[in-house]
Structure 1
């Protein structure tokens, strides 16, 4: 369905003037061998920003400046809205920035922005990974909170989807964004609006103009498709496709992890993007090695789930062998009486045979 001023669906609001926009932070590009097959390259690029399912993302709210109670509660509610879709990720608020993967500021002089997916792990614990630059208690503000959290979950801007087929009146776009309320330089406008993602970075082949990751646009900026010349309405909630894709990447956790014993090889019979989880319960305290075998690209993350009888989920260590000829390896000291969960997500299996995993 066309999303125009006259045909805006329920929950979407037409826009007449250029609104304030999110300024997504640059995404880190992995250094990959130039001779990777297109299928292998695409699997890595699509999956690299996503978390392993079952990750507990801890967030810290900087309660200063404009971070008063109503703004903090709006962010908390946005996290609940994503969780209530029924996903396997969890979100926990903590009271120290050093404990948090996601650190959220409320500097209204710095706009709204977020780093994307696992890139937040590369940011110093002294710095924000997300900021909100305007009131989150309005309808547009609520959608902003959902949008920025979407970036943290690994999703890019939807209007930069190469399958959207958008032809911009580029100089009008630059002019609109150069003025208030955004006041963006040309390079920022290009990075956040005009730059199209590579088809190898995008999952699926459908553009979703209702996505919470879509910008609203006023009339006059889009030349094609013709039905969007009158603008794109403001998506105010998670779309059906938003929910489909986040559930696809982070399905609800139902099965218990299979127990992985020393010197026991377990097969990773997975499709691209699939994940298997394993429980490791050491019978002695010592150094262990955990590794994959076979021609595969995986990210492997070890969590500590039980310490002295207290259940918790705490990141321990990880390895990512995507694009490499070698396999993922962890060398760690594990403790008797503690329970660990190893979550392994497959980017791609690119050679003969099936991949496997072992602890020894």
Structure 2
């Protein structure tokens, strides 16, 4: 493999900071922050490819397929109308490679891209780049910023390296993408994976500790075993048939933090319905309509960190099929919650 340590690196976009009440218990704050960027499993992410060479387009399609085929519960569908997309992929060669993280893309206007590729994606490094940027869209941060990695940097050498060609980053950009450690409360688990697809390539001399990486860190490339295990644990493949949620019937949700319950709705009358959770848990609730076998987003609500429950009001139509998904952040004092629609 060619020396990839001299190649440019991904520059992730700044995260949207969720303001939370300071009086919340530490464990509740931690769970909300860990899960805030993640999608409800089963979400269909529609992606739009802006103008660019067809080989680059195909490389992005292949990377989406590789994530999907692990298999995971998220769906990825290419669309030809950017207004129908959540993910908008650019190929501006002067803008580097970058992506927003997770659900932050929902706050980006439809005229703007949410991911860009600034170099060729048809070689091994490019393939890993495509997987890496999609990883950000799934909610993954840079692996070397894991506070449990134990990395000690020669900071001035880091600033010097990334400040020069081909990255030409400012000191702030280098700090945000390399040196800044993610808050321990935002990280799942405590292990660092130096072969993660979310890890950078580093030349010799930048890492002081661990000592074995003083001569450089060059990941294997592609998805590591830990990457695959993580994404399949957080976005597991979903069953084809979901239990039916009947109107006015409460269903108990005995879920651990990060777990999810999924139900199908088959309304017997066309009218406005209320869908809501009950209890003290923090959760995100999302409603989809099944349109010719593809789930389309209808409405959603997130009550995390607030003294209320999730609630959706939407007109549902007789003869149409819907899916409602609820993911738990924090289980509350009772360890249980409930869902009903009426």
TM-score range (shorter-chain normalised) is: over 0.9
Aligned equivalent of 2:294, options 312, 315, 323: 312
Aligned equivalent of 2:307, options 325, 331, 343: 325
Match in the other structure for 1:87: 72
Aligned equivalent of 2:322, options 330, 340, 346: 340
Q: What is the rounded CA distance, in whole Å, between the counterparts of 1:249 and 1:17 in structure 2?
A: 31
Q: How does 1:1-360 map to 2 (within 5 A)?
A: 15=3, 17-63=5-51, 67-254=52-239, 256-306=241-291, 310-352=292-334, 354-360=336-342
What secondary structure, in the 3-state scheme, does the structure 1 residue paired with 2:293 have?
Answer: strand
Where relative contact order (Cα < 8 A, 6+ residues apart) is larger, the structure is 1
Q: What is the rounded CA distance, in whole Å, between the counterparts of 1:304 and 1:255 in structure 2?
A: 15
Please identify runs of 4+ aligned residues in structure 1 that moved more than 6 A: none
- Relative to structure 1, the CA distance from residue 140 to residue 353 in structure 2 (aligned partners, 3 Å threshold; closer, same or farther) is closer
Are the aligned partners of 1:16 and 1:219 in contact in 2 as well (CA < 8 Å)? Answer: no
Q: What is the rounded CA distance, in whole Å, between the counterparts of 1:21 and 1:280 in structure 2?
A: 45
Q: What is the rounded CA distance, in whole Å, between the counterparts of 1:220 and 1:354 in structure 2?
A: 51
Cα shift readout 1:241-262 (whole Å, capped 9, x = no counterpart):
0000000111011262221111
Indicate the RMSD between aligned Cα atoms, in angstroms: 1.2
Superposition deviation, residue 278 in structure 1: 1.0
Aligned length: 342
Are the aligned partners of 1:287 and 1:333 in contact in 2 as well (CA < 8 Å)? Answer: yes
Q: What is the rounded CA distance, in whole Å, between the counterparts of 1:53 and 1:286 in structure 2?
A: 27
Are the aligned partners of 2:194 and 2:219 in contact in 1 as well (CA < 8 Å)? Answer: no
TM-score of the two chains, using structure 1 as the length reference: 0.93
Are the aligned partners of 2:5 and 2:218 in contact in 1 as well (CA < 8 Å)? Answer: no
Are the aligned partners of 1:178 and 1:184 in contact in 2 as well (CA < 8 Å)? Answer: yes
Are the aligned partners of 2:102 and 2:140 in contact in 1 as well (CA < 8 Å)? Answer: yes
Superposition deviation, residue 351 in structure 1: 1.4
Are the aligned partners of 1:294 and 1:353 in contact in 2 as well (CA < 8 Å)? Answer: no
Cα shift readout 1:199-223 (whole Å, capped 9, x = no counterpart):
1000010000000000010001011
Cα shift readout 1:164-217 (whole Å, capped 9, x = no counterpart):
000100011001111100000000000000000011000010000000000010
Superposition deviation, residue 15 in structure 1: 4.2
Cα shift readout 1:3-50 (whole Å, capped 9, x = no counterpart):
xxxxxxxxxx58474320000011112111101112111111111111
Q: What is the rounded CA distance, in whole Å, between the counterparts of 2:6 and 2:211 in structure 1?
A: 19
Are the aligned partners of 2:281 and 2:335 in contact in 1 as well (CA < 8 Å)? Answer: no
Match in the other structure for 1:4: none
Match in the other structure for 1:6: none
Q: What is the rounded CA distance, in whole Å, between the counterparts of 1:285 and 1:29 in structure 2?
A: 39
Cα shift readout 1:305-349 (whole Å, capped 9, x = no counterpart):
14xxx3321011100001111000111111111111001000111
What secondary structure, in the 3-state scheme, does the structure 2 residue paired with 1:259 have?
Answer: coil
